[in-house]
Amino acid sequence: MPLADRLNTERVQRVATARHLAPNDPLRARQLLHDSLTGVDPATAPAHPLHAEAAILLAELQLRLGHPADALTWATYAQHSTAHLHGPTHRRTLHALHLHAAAHRRAGHHQRAYHLYRKLADQLTRVEGPHARRTLAAHATTALVLHALGHCQAARALLADTITTHQREHPGHSATARMTQHLSRMWHDCATKGHHHQDA
């Protein structure tokens, strides 16, 4: 077998093994993914299906392990790579976009996270519809990011509207209760900080 083919086969095996190990042995899985991406510079590497898959897995693991800056590097590559390979509304691209937004949010880059969550909500609206659970989840997270940016009224209004739609379209779903808890925390946070808003 030619060297290039053998190396590619080894990369495929490492990624498959890492996917299997990730739930119970994230550190070992992370090492395998690093090995499979040896020689790949995420800032300059061209789009590649295997590298994109490994990058998504690695970014997920880095977020789980509390390393958002490292996750961000590979999530950025994964989003650009999957969009190039599959188009902007493919499920892999949307997953990578969500991961990219989450990495920015966890890293404290709320402005960038806001724009990415808005983009995710727009794409999900096109693919799944404006009332789909994932679309509404993206709106709810956008509201949380808006609140982190200090836009309290806009955040509360968006989240309240999202809760109303979610209750109507998905009655009894547990996400409504979680969103309502987030909204209560927003109100409590504003009260604690002594904010005086026109909608209070």
Q: Locate tokens 């309502």: which residue? A: 180
> pLDDT class for 193, splitting at 50, 70, 90?
confident
| pLDDT tier, 200 (very low <50, low <70, confident <90, very high otherwise) | very low
This prediction's pTM: 0.91
Same domain, 173 and 90: no
Query: Same domain, yes or no, for 12 and 95?
Result: yes
Is the domain of 104 the same as that of 147?
no
CATH of the domain at 27: 1.25.40
- pLDDT more than 90, % of the chain: 86
Q: Please say which residue of 108, 123, 146 terminates a domain.
A: 108
Predicted local confidence at residue 1, as pLDDT = 55
Q: What is d(CA 159, CA 117) in angstroms, rounded to the nearest whole number?
A: 14
pLDDT at 7 over 80: no
Distance separating alpha carbons of residues 89 and 55, to the nearest angstrom: 19
pLDDT of residue 192: 83
pLDDT digits (tens, 9 = 90+) for 97-122: 999 999 999 999 999 999 999 999 99
Q: Which of 50, 83, 108 is the last residue of a domain?
A: 108
- Report how many domains make up the chain: 2
Residue 8 and residue 101 in one domain: yes
Average confidence (pLDDT) over 171-197 = 88
**Per-position b or e across 136-157, b if 16+ CB within 10 A of its CB:** bbbbbbbbbbbbeeeebbebbe
Give the model's pLDDT for residue 198: 57
Whether residue 149 contacts residue 126, with contact meaning beta carbons closer than 8 Å, is answered with no
For residue 172, the enclosing domain spans 110-200
Q: Select from 156, 101, 170, 90 the least CA-distant residue to 124.
A: 90
Domain termination site, one of 108, 135, 163: 108
Question: Domain check: are 152 and 191 in the same one?
Answer: yes
